[in-house]
Amino acid sequence: MRVEKIRQKLEAALKPLRLEVEDEGHKHVGHAHAGRGHYRVFIVCPEFSGKPLIARHRMVYEALGAQMREDIHALSIVARAPEEVPELGA
């Protein structure tokens, strides 16, 4: 399953404190995207501390590697450092 593959790659590369991966393909029924899916990622990672948003997104893209070209048509990313998530006690 693609969601599980996304989860495994992000967990291995970034060691997130919190990770949610959602298949949003149901929102895009009828869109032509050659079998590639639409996904949403919410990730909280210590590696993001002090980094701008674009750098965080690049880290996610890099962690997903070829999957970005082969399986993913669209990826919505919310990338936070632990201190930006109040419920984590920072």
Residue that is written with structure tokens 């970034």 in the block: 14
pLDDT of residue 26: 54
How confident is the model over 12-31, as a mean pLDDT?
Answer: 81
CB 17 within 8 A of CB 50: no
For position 31, which CATH number holds? 3.30.300.90
pLDDT of residue 58: 97
pLDDT, one tens digit per residue, over 27-38 is 545 555 445 588
pTM, rounded to two decimals: 0.84
The number of domains in the chain is: 1
Give the domain extent around 47.
Answer: 2-88
pLDDT surpasses 80 at 8? yes
pLDDT of residue 86: 85
Query: Cα dist. 67→19, 72, 85, 90 in Å?
Result: 18, 6, 28, 33
